[in-house]
Each structure stands twice: as C-alpha cells, then as structure tokens.
C-alpha cells in the first residue's frame, strides 16, 4: 500500500529498504557478485531493459513446483496479456544494442541486457539486478527490482499509455537512496521515440560512477 500512491515521498535512503535488499541477496547466496565485495569498481556499465511482453506464460504456471504455486491450480492460465507494452520494442532494443559500440570519453564501456523476468527464475532475476547499473523500462512491476541494484545504479521509468500519475517506483528509488537524477520518470508516446530513449540511456551511462 505504501508504494501504490500518487504522491512523492519525502523520505530518502531508508535503512529498512537497504536491509531488506541485503537480506534477499544474502538469502540467495549471491552477495559474492555484489559490487561492495569486488576489489575494483567496474568501468563496464551494464544497462538492463526490463521488458513487458504479452507473449509469455504466466510465471505461476511456468515455475510452479507444488511448494509455493500448486501446479494444478494454474492450468487454466495460458499466455499472459499485459498493458503498457512498448509497441516498437524491437526498434528500441536494436538501438540500445548499437549503443554498446559507442566510445565514451573516459574509456568506460557499456554492456546491454534484454531482461524478460517472466522467463527467469527469481535467482536469475537477482543475478541480473546486482550487476545492472542502468535499469530502464516501461512502468510495471518489474521495476520493483531496482531495490536490488548496486548503489551507483540509475533507474529510468518510461511512462506509456497513461501511467504517469503513478509514483510507486519514484518512491521506492528514493527509499533505496537514489536521489537527484538517479531516478528519472519520463512520459512518452507509444510507440516511443527511439532517439529519446537512447539519449536518456546514454546520459545515464555517462553519469554512473566508475572511479
């Protein structure tokens, strides 16, 4: 209930949110991959596109194992239908992949991941989270994973199809300590303007701390 709201929070850098993030990462024994335990700060900036696609099976059915999701209770589910799907996603993905070829003035590099969390286990999702430096995608539940990003990471939330009033992920970003322009919420038409998305991501990559 605290995140489903249309008002911007005044709270920042909540120790409870940070502790929860650490608890989940350590609970899955993934802390060895987290930035604080690395000997050097990586100069490779990882950009992850958090996809929203309707052509996938419901996660409850795909990953049921009778421990948490009893399989026979989900047999009626077929393809998952989602709103706020980027209509020209293929063009956006191609442009972001091409951005990897960019030469940055300080020698940093960019690596791009197309992350469809509907097809990944929770552990695989967390592994993606803790190596992501710029998370970008349309407004949707997948952006909750910004809670598990490194401290230097940035979040770009794309408001499409009338979702701009929602402050869920703005507030979560602030609670996680992403202040100033470390969070950006941008209202776009759908299909989205590819050049604008690329420019937003490129600017974010250039601002990630690499030294």
Please write the tens of the pLDDT for every residue from 8-60.
Answer: 888 899 999 999 999 999 999 998 877 655 667 889 999 999 999 876 778 77
Instruction: Give the pLDDT score at 208.
Output: 96
CA–CA gap between residue 11 and residue 177 (Å, rounded): 9
Give the position of tokens 């972001």. 96
- Identify which of 44, 8, 26, 29 has the alpha carbon closest to the alpha carbon of residue 152: 44
Q: Give the length of the chain.
A: 211
Q: What is the rounded average pLDDT for all residues in the chain?
A: 90
Instruction: Give the pLDDT score at 128.
Output: 96
Give the position of tokens 């996680």. 176
Which pair of tokens denotes residue 100? 């990897």
Positive or negative: CA dihedral 102, 128, 175, 82: positive
Range 64-79 average pLDDT: 80
Which pair of tokens denotes residue 69? 């999701």
Please write the tens of the pLDDT for every residue from 72-119.
Answer: 888 888 777 788 999 999 999 999 999 999 999 899 999 999 999 988
Instruction: Identify the bridge partners of residue 93 per DSSP, sorted by sequence position.
Output: none
Please write the tens of the pLDDT for every residue from 180-201.
Answer: 999 999 999 999 999 999 999 9
Instruction: Give the pLDDT score at 4.
Output: 60
């Amino acid at each position: 209930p605290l995140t489903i709201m249309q008002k911007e929070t005044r709270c920042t850098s909540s120790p409870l949110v940070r502790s929860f993030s650490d608890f989940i990462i350590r609970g899955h024994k993934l802390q060895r991959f987290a930035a604080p335990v690395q000997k050097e700060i990586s100069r490779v900036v990882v950009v992850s596109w958090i996809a929203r696609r309707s052509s996938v099976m419901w996660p409850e059915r795909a990953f049921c194992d009778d421990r948490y999701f009893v399989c026979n209770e989900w047999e009626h589910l077929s393809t998952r239908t989602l709103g706020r799907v980027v209509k020209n996603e293929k063009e956006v993905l191609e442009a972001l992949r091409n951005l990897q070829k960019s030469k940055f003035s300080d020698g940093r590099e960019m690596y791009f991941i197309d992350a469809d969390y509907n097809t990944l286990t929770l552990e695989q999702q967390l592994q993606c989270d803790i190596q992501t430096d710029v998370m970008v995608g349309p407004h949707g539940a997948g952006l909750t994973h910004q809670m598990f990003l490194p401290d230097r990471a940035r979040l770009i939330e794309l408001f499409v199809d009338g979702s701009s009033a929602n402050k869920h992920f703005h507030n979560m970003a602030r609670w996680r300590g992403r202040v100033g322009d470390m969070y950006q919420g941008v209202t776009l038409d759908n299909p989205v303007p590819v050049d604008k998305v690329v420019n937003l991501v490129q600017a974010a990559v250039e601002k990630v701390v690499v030294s």
